[in-house]
Amino acid sequence: MSKLKYLSGATQVLKWSVLYPIDNENSRLRKILYFIWAFFFVASFAITDIQCIMNIMPIPGWFPYDHTKSPQYELSYIWQIFCQINLGLIYGASDMIYPCMTIVIGQQFKILASNLRNNFYKAVLKSKNNVNYLKKNIEHHQVLLKYCDDLNTIMSPFLMTKVMAVSLVTIFTVFTLITSADRTMIFGLCSYVFFGSAELFIYNYSGQVLIESGDALWTLYKCPWYLCDLKFQKLLLMVQMRISEMTFTKAGNYFTMSAETFIGVEK
């Protein structure tokens, strides 16, 4: 029975996503992405030419044949590139599960807030209040809160591992930077710290988006709810009781994924 309720809730969220799609058209973001892809595309050709001239493989390793000769070198090079791309896609896709889920749920909260505001103005303008529409919005809100709880339960151990790993790696890397005199190692360690901090920033930024999206429902107090009927105002009390619940995700029930956590870890 619980699975059927959960499936119906997922269907409800999917229905709202279809009825109120999110506009993903962003010309500025698209230009930035095109520039990044073009830069790495040109840089990969330059690095490939240098490696091919010196017969250097992307990943050094032992081969049961002479990989410096043609066509063994070309085939081995292509195979390693193919494996690296697949490995990068696997890691990237797994790391982006949490940010994508928080962004989708956060946008659903914004859509819900907009629907509730429209509901109040529609109820004031019309002689008959649209109570059924408000009930559907309340159900939508309950489903989103349930999804936030499930996301927190599932992702909490994973986020705790990420936060602790980035914190420990940053501490040891900075210590190595202080004691190291090799410029090549310093450059590599700085890059490692930068990308580790960027990964932690993405996770905390996603959590901050979810918190701010849940707070968007507080704009309902700016609506003329006091002009509606008594029955309509009683239903509003149900919404007010649930709005007070914070929508956030925690890392092992210790750290809230937010901007404050990122600043604290970086300090």
- 16, pLDDT greater than 50: no
- 205, pLDDT greater than 80: yes
Per-residue pLDDT band for 50 (boundaries 50, 70, 90) equals low
- Note the pLDDT of residue 20: 42
- 129, pLDDT greater than 70: no
- Phi, psi at residue 256, to the nearest 5°? -85, 130
- 15, pLDDT greater than 80: no
- Note the pLDDT of residue 14: 41
- Note the pLDDT of residue 23: 47
pLDDT digit string, tens, across residues 135-180: 777 778 778 888 888 888 888 888 888 888 878 887 788 787 777 7
Length of the chain, in residues: 267
Please compute the mean of the pLDDT values over residues 93-104 and round it to a whole number.
79
- 108, pLDDT greater than 80: yes
- Note the pLDDT of residue 22: 42
Average pLDDT for the chain: 72
- Note the pLDDT of residue 54: 66
Please compute the mean of the pLDDT values over residues 28-38 and round it to a whole number.
75
- 2, pLDDT greater than 70: no
pLDDT digit string, tens, across residues 215-236: 666 666 666 666 677 777 777 7
| In the chain, domain spans | 20-95, 97-267
Please compute the mean of the pLDDT values over residues 83-100 and round it to a whole number.
75
- Note the pLDDT of residue 174: 78
Burial class (CB in 10 A: 0-12, 13-18, 19+), 172: exposed
- Cα–Cα distance, 249 to 149 (Å, whole number): 8
- Note the pLDDT of residue 5: 44
Picking from 77-86, 111-120, 225-234, which range would have the lowest pLDDT averaged per residue? 225-234
Please compute the mean of the pLDDT values over residues 71-77 and round it to a whole number.
77
Instruction: Say which residue, 215 or 105, is predicted with more confidence.
Output: 105
Please compute the mean of the pLDDT values over residues 232-257 and round it to a whole number.
73
- Cα–Cα distance, 143 to 8 (Å, whole number): 9
